Amino acid sequence: MYQKILLALLLIFLMSSVFVEAASRPASVQNLRYSNTGEKVRIVLDVTKECDYKELYLENPSRLIVDLENAVLSSSVQKEHLVGSPLANRIRIGQFNSTTVRVVVESMAEINIFWLDGGPSGCRMVIDVIEVPSVFQNEKPKPSTPSTPSTPSTQNPSQKDDELKAREERARKAAEERERKEKEEKERKAKEEKERKAKEEKERKAKEERERKAKEERERRAKEERERRQHQQPTTPSGPTSEIDKDLEKLMTLKGKIIAIDPGHGGNDAGAIGPTGVMEKTVTLNVALELEKLLKAEGATVIMTRRTDKTVSPNGAKASAIEELQARCDVANNAKADIFISIHADSFTNPTARGTTGYYYGETEGPMSIRLADCIRKALCEQIKTPSRGTKPCNFYVVRNTDMAATLIELAFISNPEEEKLMSSPEGVLKCAQGIFDGIEDFFG
> Judged by CB under 5 A, which stretch of 4-12, 127-135, 341-349, 377-385 contacts Zn ion?
341-349
Could you count the other beta carbons within 10 Å of the beta carbon of residue 352? 10
DSSP codes, 405-437: EEEEEEEEETTSHHHHHHHHSHHHHHHHHHHHH
* Shortest distance, position 439 Cβ to Zn ion, whole Å: 19
Nearer to Zn ion, 226 or 400 (CB): 400
Q: Give the closest residue to 124 by CA, choosing from 38, 28, 37, 56.
A: 28
Complex with Zn ion: residue 328 or 344, whichever CB lies closer: 344
| Minimum distance, C-beta of residue 264 to Zn ion, in the bound complex (Å) | 4
C-alpha to C-alpha distance for 377 and 271, rounded to whole angstroms: 21
Backbone angles phi, psi at 31, to 5 degrees: -165, 150
Q: Is 145 helix (H, G, I), strand (E, B) or coil?
A: coil
Rounded to an integer, what distance in angstroms lies between the CA atom of residue 199 and that of residue 100? Answer: 59
Would you say 100 or 391 has its CB closer to Zn ion? 391
Bond prior to 61 in cis (omega within 30° of 0):
yes
- Applying the rule CB under 5 A, the residues between 268 and 297 that interact with Zn ion are 271
Torsions phi, psi for 54 (to 5 deg) = -130, 145
- One of 86, 141, 263, 264 touching Zn ion (CB under 5 A): 264
Order of strands, sheet of 53-58, starting from the edge strand that comes earlier in the sequence: 53-58, 63-69, 100-106, 90-97, 80-82
Output the smallest distance, CB 437 to Zn ion, in A: 20
Contact region with Zn ion (CB under 5 A), list: 168-176, 264-272, 398-406, 420-428 = 264-272
Mention every residue, 6+ apart, whose C-beta is less than 8 A from residue 74. 28, 29, 30, 31
CB closer to Zn ion, 88 vs 399: 399
- Which residues, 363 to 382, sit near Zn ion by CB under 5 A? none
Minimum CB separation from Zn ion for residue 416, in Å?
A: 15
Q: Which residue is nearest to Zn ion (CB)?
A: 344
CB of 250 to Zn ion, least distance (A): 34
Beta-sheet strands, E only, within 2-62: 27-36, 40-47, 53-58
Residue 136 or residue 397: which is nearer to Zn ion going by CB?
Answer: 397
Q: How far is the CB of 314 from Zn ion (least distance, A)?
A: 21
Distance CA 432, CA 341 (A): 13
Span near Zn ion by CB under 5 A; candidates 262-270, 349-357, 368-376, 434-442: 262-270
How would you class 255 by CB atoms within 10 Å of its CB: exposed for 0-12, middle for 13-18, buried for 19 or more?
Answer: exposed
Residue closer to Zn ion by CB (options 264, 274) is 264
- What's the gap between Cα 7 and its chain centre? 76
Q: Does 355 bind Zn ion (CB under 5 A)?
A: no
String marking each residue 63-92 x if it binds Zn ion according to CB under 5 A: ------------------------------
Number of neighbouring beta carbons within 10 Å of residue 277: 9
Only one of the segments 10-18, 258-266, 324-332, 427-435 lies at the binding site for Zn ion (rule: CB under 5 A); that segment is 258-266
Q: Which stretch binds Zn ion (CB under 5 A): 8-16, 228-236, 336-344, 421-429?
A: 336-344
Decide whether 141 or 264 has the Cβ nearer to Zn ion.
264
Phi-psi category of 256—alpha, beta or left, where left has phi over 0 and alpha has psi -120 to 50? left
Of 63 and 344, which has the nearer Cβ to Zn ion? 344
Binds Zn ion by CB under 5 A, chosen from 257, 281, 344, 377: 344
Residue 333: CB minimum distance to Zn ion, A: 21
Contact segment (CB under 5 A) with Zn ion among 13-21, 144-152, 181-189, 266-274 equals 266-274
Number of residues binding to Zn ion, judged by CB under 5 A: 3
Helix H or strand E encompassing 333: helix 321-334
The shares of helix, strand and coil residues in the chain, as percent rounded to the nearest 5, are 45, 25, 30
**CB of residue 280 to Zn ion, shortest distance in Å:** 5
> Given the complex with Zn ion, which of 167 and 344 has the nearer CB atom?
344
List interacting residues with Zn ion (CB under 5 A): 264, 271, 344
